[in-house]
Structure 1
Amino acid sequence: MHEAYALPGPLALSRSTVDRAADRRADPVWVDAAWADRSTRVVLVGDGAVAVDGTDLRFVKPVEAPDGDRFLLGVEDGVTYFAVPVEGKPDDGATLREVGETLGDRDAGLAVHAIALANWHATHRHCGRCGAPTDSQAGGHVRVCRADGSQHFPRTDPAVIVLVVDEKDRCLLGRSAAWPGRRFSTLAGFVEPGETPEHAVVRELYEEVGVRIRSCRYAGAQPWPFPSSLMLGYYATADGEEPTPDGDEIAEARWFTRDDLERATRSGEVTPPGGISIARRLVEGWFGRPLPVDERG
């Protein structure tokens, strides 16, 4: 069943047009020259937000940027882009949930890259081996311990996110007790050490709602820097047994036909996942079109 479904694209936070210039990061002469170039542009980032001007990132020149670490984001059309972290949210700052869908492809990629790096640097100021301070190097893509010289690289946590469909072509959605209102979404969980994503799909669905997966297929991925995840999207099949939420992570789980979901969404009984999420795209791939809006306004 799930072989027929595909993610309607593009995924809001998977868009990017900039060459990350990874081969240049370890060349301090090149990085310094790029910073000194008058065409270079810098975005300020802090507290999970980037500076914006309407539907575009707001850039400053390097001479206008505050002192501090410099994160090399990449190069496009001869222009080099950096991010500089600031304390708190930058002036005119907005989060990815607020502007992730409206930014253009270039700016979406730059914003996700900048926020992900800033989140990692903020929590890795000290060496995990000896506790000594670390310094940012390689354009912000490595931290090096001052005491033992060990290198530490930005962390990305893989997680699976799954739309399950049964033999009646119903989809399974769940509600976390921590979510506001009546938000329902696909089920998700982190991949554990020594585990494949497919094994994680089977384990998470059984742990959270007691549903046994018969098959699953990878559908696509999206960075999710809240603070450091990579969401691996899957379509899966299962028999339509009654879900049994664990009561801890998942408070409620239900099977929905397309008519069920449309009626519940229009009435406000169910709030679907947000527009920037891969969860929304997984559901819409099954639904066959964009989800309806709440008719209550």
Structure 2
Amino acid sequence: MTRFHTLDFRRPVPGAVRTPDGWRLSWSGTAVMGIVNVTPDSFSDGGVHAGLDAALASARGMRAAGVLMVDVGGESTRPGAEPVPAERELDRVLPLIRALAGEDVVISVDTMKPEVAAGALRAGAHVVNDVTGLCDLEMVEVCVQAGAAACVMHMQGEPRTMQVSPRYDDVVGEVSDFLTTRAGEVLAAGVPGVLLDPGIGFGKTLEHNLALLRALPRLTVGPCPVLIGASRKRLIDFIAGVPVAAERDPGSLALHLHAAASGAALVRAHAAAAHVQALRVQAALDAVPQGLHSDA
């Protein structure tokens, strides 16, 4: 059965409808968030989008293919990544966000820094994608003041050290509790809408990641839409022996089709057009033809 998802804002958003409290973005099934990393050192595509022309062409290609969102990032969060100053991150993301502003696509900014989020929202972004789960109260305030929705992600540790012996007593229970609690706190603080991301590959072993992916039906039953970002992650190498990150798109598709079947509202992908195509085909296969019942 097709699931429907909503995300609320207090600012105009492409494709959203006006509500008494702001704007509501609605979609059915699993949509795609396309990744555009305007960084020189991202784990799978560092430097590909470092120039504005290349980044803009990629983002517009994703929009034409049918993605719901484009996620713009200016700082790598791969394991071992070193932080960059806010000014440098802003210099990377703002030209693309300004160029995309006003076009028919929802823009997300992938950042851990409140000042970068604030600058991106002023430039035309709509969503803040924070891998630290909006644990910085200043980041929460930035989203509240801008009327922006946010993505709350779970991460054990921080990017430089997160893959150094991550441990859980019950990874599914701990991640689920964190996301539920943090979402409630963020919404109570005035952020209008929240996406939840269990943080595949962020402070988790292969076994932790697989446990979370298998438990997605449990994680997606709540009111907040769930985002899964397994694109080109190292777990695909561990499973299928693909050491080159850019060659992991087939594995990414397999994981994300599983996420879609398990109720995920969004998947975050590098090969965005391929994901849109695959998800549309899967949705057609899953649809019940008119006049037939699901048990026919």
Is the strand fraction higher in 1 or 2?
Answer: 1
Structure ID, larger Rg: 1
Q: Same fold (TM over 0.5)?
A: no
TM-score (norm 1): 0.28
Is the helix fraction higher in 1 or 2?
Answer: 2
